[in-house]
């Protein structure tokens, strides 16, 4: 084996080990003690179909003078760029294309870009698509998604279409494992593009991975939730992931998430 290949293999193995260690820490933090056994090989899935970009329903605020924004994307296609420091969601989606920048594209059915209002005051960020999301090309449409939709519609009284919802990674990780660092890095410019495009007044991160990514440190979500943070000048409210809430549907957890969403809603003046 060539030295370069060996180094690459070591890098991948270290990334997997780091991800496994992070997952174990997260599970311990969430008191998970049992796993459901998954049967059968991961399905071979057809190639991606891009989802239609969301159409803005209200006029955008005036754009600042056109500047060239570029970020290096690890992988195949070199620097990405769009015009302006506030791209549209369509521009970000177009740049993403039929993405093959990381290995997640191999198992996906559809890219799950995002869903909701292009100028939403509230933006929710989860971890990555699951099985239902991968099939439909929309974020948070499975069981956890139903709970999130209820939390938004019944809890804070906003139609789901009035907020914007997306994930750290846009393709489903196999067997819903945590996305690996290279996968997160490959998708990061597009998440940042979405944040710039929507320019929400408040970001709500769902669960530990999204909060840890945007705050650039590993957080203990059960301790951090409910406390205001900031991402690039935007107030950020970390809360529990709806999938965690489904597993631990206690009055305390429900109250905690309800309080977090109320605080986010009030601050966004949504």
Binding site for ligand URA (CB under 6 A): 126-130, 133, 139-140, 142, 144-145, 167, 243
Angle in degrees, 0-180, between the axes of helices 181-198 and 3-29, rounded to the nearest 10: 70
| Bridge partner list, 228 | none
Report the alpha-carbon distance of residue 120 to residue 30 in Å, rounded. 31
Token look-up 């809603």 returns 265
- Comparing CB distances to ligand URA, the nearer of 142 and 189 is 142
Rg (CA), the chain: 18
CB of 168 to ligand URA, least distance (A): 8
CB of 269 to ligand URA, least distance (A): 26
Q: 37, exposed or middle or buried, with CB in 10 Å at 0-12, 13-18, 19+?
A: exposed
CB of 142 to ligand URA, least distance (A): 6
CB of 169 to ligand URA, least distance (A): 9
Q: Is-contact 112 153, C-beta < 8 A? A: no
- Comparing CB distances to ligand URA, the nearer of 87 and 139 is 139
CB of 11 to ligand URA, least distance (A): 26
- Comparing CB distances to ligand URA, the nearer of 84 and 105 is 105
- Comparing CB distances to ligand URA, the nearer of 121 and 129 is 129
Which residue lies nearest ligand URA, judged by its C-beta? 126
Token look-up 């290096």 returns 72
Q: 17, exposed or middle or buried, with CB in 10 Å at 0-12, 13-18, 19+?
A: exposed
- Comparing CB distances to ligand URA, the nearer of 189 and 207 is 207
């Amino acid at each position: 084996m060539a030295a370069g290949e060996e180094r690459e293999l070591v890098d991948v193995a270290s990334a997997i080990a780091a991800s496994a260690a992070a997952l174990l820490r997260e599970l311990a933090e969430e008191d998970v003690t049992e796993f459901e056994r998954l049967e059968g090989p991961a399905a071979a899935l057809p190639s991606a179909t891009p989802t239609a970009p969301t159409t803005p329903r209200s006029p955008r605020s005036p754009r600042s003078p056109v500047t060239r924004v570029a970020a290096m994307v690890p992988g195949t296609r070199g620097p990405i760029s769009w015009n302006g420091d506030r791209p549209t969601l369509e521009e970000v989606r177009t740049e993403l294309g039929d993405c093959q920048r990381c290995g997640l594209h191999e198992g996906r059915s559809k890219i799950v870009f995002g869903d909701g209002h292009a100028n939403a005051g509230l933006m929710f960020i989860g971890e990555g698509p699951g099985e239902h999301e991968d099939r439909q090309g929309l974020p948070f449409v499975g069981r956890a998604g139903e709970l999130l939709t209820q939390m938004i519609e019944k809890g804070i009284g906003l139609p789901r279409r009035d907020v914007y919802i997306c994930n750290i990674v846009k393709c489903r990780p196999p067997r819903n494992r945590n996305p690996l660092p290279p996968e997160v890095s490959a998708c990061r410019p597009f998440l940042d593009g979405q944040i710039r495009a929507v320019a929400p007044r408040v970001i709500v991160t769902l669960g530990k991975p999204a909060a840890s990514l945007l705050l650039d440190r590993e957080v203990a979500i059960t301790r951090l939730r409910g406390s205001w943070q900031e991402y690039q000048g935007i107030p950020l409210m970390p809360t529990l992931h709806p999938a965690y809430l489904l597993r631990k549907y206690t009055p305390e957890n429900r109250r905690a998430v309800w309080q977090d969403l109320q605080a986010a809603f009030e601050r966004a003046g949504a």
